[in-house]
Amino acid sequence: MGIRCQGKTIVIALFVICAAAGSAYAGISECTAGCGDLDGDGFATSVDFALLNSCIGEDPQSFATCACADLDGNGAIDLADYAIFMRLFAGVSDEAPPDCTGAPGTLANLTAYRPQHGTAYFPFARTAVPDDWENDEQLGPGIRINNGDADPSGEDDLIEVVLTVDPPGAELTLRKSTSAMTIWTTRNKQPGTNIVFPSTKSVPLPVGPTETSLTLWVEWESAVHGVATLQVEPAFSNVVKDSLTFHTFHGIVLALGGEGQVPTVPVEANSGTFVVGTALYGLGFDVHMYDEDNVSADGSGAVYNETATAIQHRLVDEIAIFGYSHGGGSTYSLADRLDVNRAGLGLFTIGYTSYVDSVRNNSDIDVNQELRRPPSSAYHLNHYQHGSFFEDLGLDGGPVTNSNPPPTGLDVETTPWGANSTHFEVDDYIQVRSLMESTLTPRITR
Partner 1 sequence: MYARTLGKFVMAALLAAACIAAVPAANDAIQTDLRTIASTEDAGAKQTAWDRIRQADTADRTALLQQLAIFTTTADNERDALLAGTVIREFKIPDDTVVQALVPLLESDDASLKAQVGNMLGGYEDRSADRPPNFSTYRAIIATAVREDRPIPLGLVEHMYTVDPSQALRTMLRASSVHKPASLREILMADHVISEVLWKQRNGFLDENTIEPQAAEELAKLANHDQWWARLYAAAIVQQHPAFRTKALVQRLSGDEHPLVAGFASVPAEAERTSE
Q: Which residues bind partner 1 (CB under 8 A)?
A: 150, 152, 258-261, 293, 296-300, 302, 304-305, 308-309, 312, 325, 333, 336-337, 339-341, 343-346, 359, 362-367, 389-390, 393-395, 424
Closer to partner 1 by CB, 265 or 367: give it.
Answer: 367
| Cβ-proximal residues to 421 (8 Å cutoff; 6+ apart), any chain | 385, 412, 413, 429
Closer to partner 1 by CB, 64 or 276: give it.
Answer: 276
Q: Which secondary-structure segment (H or E) carries 14?
A: helix 11-21
Nearest-approach distance from CB 424 to partner 1, in angstroms: 7
Strand 251-256 with 287-290, pairing: parallel
By the 10 Å C-beta count (0-12 exposed, 13-18 middle, 19+ buried), 20 is classed as: exposed
For 195-247, the DSSP string reads: PP-SSSBPSPP---TT--EEEEEEEE-SSS--EEEEEEEETTS----EEEEEE
Closer to partner 1 by CB, 116 or 261: give it.
Answer: 261
Nearest-approach distance from CB 346 to partner 1, in angstroms: 6
Closer to partner 1 by CB, 76 or 345: give it.
Answer: 345
Closer to partner 1 by CB, 60 or 257: give it.
Answer: 257
Nearest-approach distance from CB 386 to partner 1, in angstroms: 15
Nearest-approach distance from CB 239 to partner 1, in angstroms: 45
Nearest-approach distance from CB 66 to partner 1, in angstroms: 59
| Cβ-proximal residues to 173 (8 Å cutoff; 6+ apart), any chain | 201, 202, 203, 204, 205, 232, 233, 234, 235
Rounded Cα gap, residues 311 and 308, in angstroms: 5
Nearest-approach distance from CB 137 to partner 1, in angstroms: 28
Nearest-approach distance from CB 440 to partner 1, in angstroms: 24
Closer to partner 1 by CB, 26 or 390: give it.
Answer: 390
For 316-347, the DSSP string reads: --EEEEEEETHHHHHHHHHHHHHHHTHHHH-S
Name the phi and psi angles at 88, rounded to 5.
Answer: -90, -15
Residue 91, CA distances (Å) to 70, 205, 240 in order = 18, 23, 12
Nearest-approach distance from CB 316 to partner 1, in angstroms: 13
Closer to partner 1 by CB, 104 or 394: give it.
Answer: 394
Query: Residue 365's closest CA among 259, 294, 273?
Result: 259
Strand partners, 181: 220
Other beta carbons less than 10 A from residue 427's beta carbon: 28
Closer to partner 1 by CB, 76 or 302: give it.
Answer: 302
